[in-house]
Amino acid sequence: MIDIEEAKKLDRQDPLAKFRERFLNRDHEIYLDGNSLGKLPLAAIPVLEETISNQWGKQLIRSWNKNWLELPKRLSRKYCELLNADEGELVFGESTSVRIYQIIFALLESNIYPKKILTDALNFPTDLYVLHGLAKHFSIPDVQVIHYDQEIEANLDRLKDAIRKSPGIVCLSLVTYKSSYLYPIKELNHWAAAHKSIIIWDLSHAVGALEIDFKTTETLVALGCTYKYMNGGPGSPAFLYVHKKLQDNLQNPIQGWFGHQHPFAFETKYKAAKGLERFNNGTPPILSMQATETGIDLILEAGIKMLREKSVLQSEFLINLVKNELRPLNFELQSPEDILFRGSHLTLSHKAAWQICQALIKGDGDSPKIIPDYRPPHFIRLGIAPLYTRFEDLWRTVYQLKKIVISESYLNYSAQKENVT
């Protein structure tokens, strides 16, 4: 195995290394689960303290006008900057699941596209569940779920063929949660447009780790959660982007007062707000939104281009270690090898993945605790969050995986699984 000094040298050369200090890091712990829940930005602590003690504690209702009503709009503008959207093309709030429901409901009702729903087996379960519910509601015979021969990559010919034969509303995760497969977004948007279809992109595993440009990729609708690489905190709200040319034809199925033209006029009749503001529903979760802002601020400050460059370097570094050190120990790489088709996490499989993860988390005398992400039945995801992951962390993880398997120390752990993995 290469010397750890190689990894430390790369950390010293890393232009983004200083951002790590802006997060709460624990001694003797390596966190590789930023692709599920990002670390706590230190700046979120005083922001939340001020919000709770002063704005909520003392200013109470006055804080709505002074601080809070503007907050979702400010977050929207920051996400527009990150994703290259125009102001007014993005709203902030709700969960990704709610956003998928709202926008696909609106598209189905609008009749702009044929009433068909397509997705693929690589998509995240919540997307599939919501799509099935929508199909039932709109009496669409079924959601067409495209299956591939394996779970690592999409077969683009099969996907395109399905869209051509059955045009409609397609929902895909830009980076898939299992393997980190990255779809060619622009190529597929073109294909969809040429075949009377639209793709709804779920960016949950992509935003904050990849450069995404809605204009150059001609993206029409996208959404995603902000608690992974965006470091927005547990349950931080999602965003919804809709290209301005579509907005006037879409109505929010949830006619809540925050989507009304004049919410504080308390009119009895619903009048949808102009543009995408009508997709707001109820009172925004202010505590969560305040914390979330520190996450997007850090990403904008570091710059998404530099973050992607670092993530690419780190994932190549990790892949080389996996190939040389872990493949001989029966680990398999379950992510695309070509960086053009890969996001920012790497997935490994091993028949004892669950027990190996428990051994990693526990650590041992001279090794730190390492927090990976387990996915059933036998996958270990290693998330690279370029704001705080170090090359040294990746080296130590591979070193420890080797040690656990060679010594068979994983056999000391139960095969019984926990709830949140």
Ligand X SMILES: Cc1ncc(COP(=O)(O)O)c(C=O)c1O
Of 25-33, 135-143, 200-208, 291-299, which segment contacts ligand X by CB under 6 A?
A: 200-208
Size of the site for ligand X (CB under 6 A): 13
Binding mask 123-162 for ligand X (x = CB under 6 A): -x-xx-----------------------------------
Of 59-67, 197-205, 246-254, 363-371, which segment contacts ligand X by CB under 6 A?
A: 197-205
Binding mask 58-97 for ligand X (x = CB under 6 A): -------------------------------------xxx
Please name which of 106, 157, 161, 95 lies closest in space to residue 129, comparing C-alpha atoms.
Answer: 95
Of 12-20, 202-210, 287-295, 297-305, which segment contacts ligand X by CB under 6 A?
A: 202-210
Among 102, 173, 189, 290, binds ligand X (CB under 6 A): 173
Name every residue whose Cβ is closer than 8 Å to that of residue 128 and which is 6 or more positions away in sequence. Answer: 119, 143, 145
Backbone phi and psi for residue 237, each to the nearest 5 degrees, phi listed first: -65, 160
Pairing of strands 90-92, 379-383: unpaired
Of 39-47, 122-130, 324-332, 413-421, which segment contacts ligand X by CB under 6 A?
A: 122-130
The torsion angle over the Cα atoms of residues 79, 85, 91 and 95, rounded to 10 degrees, is -60
Strand residues in 84-193 grouped as ranges (E): 90-92, 117-120, 144-146, 169-173
End-to-end Cα separation, the chain, in angstroms: 30
Residue 152 C-beta: closest distance to ligand X, Å = 16
Q: Which residues are catalytic?
A: 124, 202, 227-228, 381
238 contacts ligand X (rule: CB under 6 A): yes
| Nearer residue to ligand X within complex by CB, 172 or 333 | 172
Q: Give CA–CA dist 408/67, Å, rounded.
A: 55
222 membership: H or E segment, kind and range: strand 221-224
Among 178, 205, 345, 350, binds ligand X (CB under 6 A): 205
Name every residue whose Cβ is closer than 8 Å to that of residue 352 and which is 6 or more positions away in sequence. Answer: 378, 405, 410, 411
Footprint on this chain of ligand X (rule: CB under 6 A): 95-97, 124, 126-127, 173, 177, 202, 204-205, 225, 238
